[in-house]
Structure 1
């Protein structure tokens, strides 16, 4: 399974929505507290780009030598329609400073010196050591997961339904009364997670591991083909 540090790095460097929370700033300014870009530096600090007139930018500029506490909160929402759509959240807290010269006109880059990191997702809630966060790498499919899951959902419904056969009696009894829907929920280099739903109130997740970690799209195609072949027999 991906480590908590890897999962957090994946969320930080994904396209998930994020907001930079600074104590004392009004909630009405949230639209200008959402970074337009974010990445992780070699020391594990998080760099976020915001509009130059963002309240967070003004606060960091005026703080000067004082330490300005802030939290980057990331919310991960499944890219396909499914009950209980929020897949997880990550929080990176630390100290905020401005970084001149990295952004174009009308934008400012802020540096969040990482102090505490935590993630609460489909794998569970964990605290991440900042050094582990620094050294982790994001999942290689983070930038493609949305389109891959949407493709599976739109074009491979029959193969996904076959996965129920691999879940034993748990779905065999249910199929007799009501055929559950199988929705692709999450994908990473280690496997595919689906959500099996009879209705909006009765769902459970199932995880299908690949034979080994997948490194690229070619390997992913082979792993998915192997998985669907196993489900069909």
Structure 2
């Protein structure tokens, strides 16, 4: 894709950030007072950009947060969006949420655990106040980095956005293409620029604006977005747009 070629339509940075948050992929904490990154037992990103993290009650970060001024610890949470199919470079995007990680009283933590459980039921939340501690990060800044670019995301925009309608079903669609319809992926390859032909083409992502392919060459990877003719919301619309990309003239003429 040359610099003069218009970029295909894509979800806004705020929508892509909300989608990564909703997928609940791998999270790591980078507290300012710690030398190493920390992997929480569980995490949940709230609609306002705040992050609840579950840690063992005896974890040093818990003690450090309590001992910090105002019980808050400057921390960055990194969320990794991994592809649902095995790729040599599996991370599709990163969302960084920086802010203040706050220690909570048992009463506050249990109330927050109930709120988290409404969105992400997990039996480990029952350990809050016993062998686990629930802390909450109040966001100050969000930054998204993916194949579309690196963008700061305003907290208000993040809160106003909604995850992509196919976020929950995307993994199933892509795995189905990878395992059962390599012919479809091969047919989609006809849309690739000439310089990318010949690489190993893999299904990478799916959203309401289009499908993304990963082209694995000998020494590098390239991500390519194939745009639908219009944004879609339902599985029926999605199937129709995929058939259009495959060049089915009968279905294309029906719209």
Q: Same fold (TM over 0.5)?
A: yes
* Structure 1 equivalent of residue 3 of structure 2: none
Paired positions, count: 222
Gaps of 5+ in 2: 1-9, 114-124
- Which moved further from structure 2: 45-54 or 113-122? 45-54
Give the C-alpha shift of residue 202 in structure 1.
Answer: 4.9
Distance 1:24 1:165 in 2: 51
* Structure 1 equivalent of residue 117 of structure 2: none
Give the C-alpha shift of residue 81 in structure 1.
Answer: 2.8
* Structure 1 equivalent of residue 93 of structure 2: 88
1:6/1:56 Cα in 2 relative to 1: closer, same or farther (>3 Å)? farther
Gaps of 5+ in 1: none
Q: What TM-score do the two structures reach when normalised by structure 2?
A: 0.76
Counting only pairs closer than 5 Å after superposition, residues 181-192 of structure 1 correspond to structure 2 as 181-192=200-211
Counting only pairs closer than 5 Å after superposition, residues 196-215 of structure 1 correspond to structure 2 as 196-197=215-216, 199-215=217-233
- Whose strand proportion is higher, 1 or 2? 1
On the 8 A contact 2:18/2:158 being kept in 1, the answer is yes
The RMSD of aligned alpha carbons is 2.6
Counting only pairs closer than 5 Å after superposition, residues 22-171 of structure 1 correspond to structure 2 as 22-27=31-36, 30=38, 33-41=39-47, 43-63=48-68, 65-97=70-102, 98=104, 99-101=108-110, 102=113, 103-105=125-127, 106-167=131-192, 169-170=194-195
Counting only pairs closer than 5 Å after superposition, residues 173-188 of structure 1 correspond to structure 2 as 174=197, 179-188=198-207
Give the C-alpha shift of residue 25 in structure 1.
Answer: 2.3
Distance 2:56 2:11 in 1: 34
Q: What TM-score do the two structures reach when normalised by structure 1?
A: 0.82
1:16 maps onto 2:34 in alignment: no
Give the C-alpha shift of residue 125 in structure 1.
Answer: 0.6
Give the C-alpha shift of residue 34 in structure 1.
Answer: 2.3
The DSSP-based 3-state class of the residue aligned with 1:48 is: strand
On the 8 A contact 1:71/1:94 being kept in 2, the answer is yes
Distance 2:41 2:12 in 1: 25
On the 8 A contact 1:83/1:200 being kept in 2, the answer is no
Give the C-alpha shift of residue 66 in structure 1.
Answer: 4.2
Give the C-alpha shift of residue 26 in structure 1.
Answer: 4.4
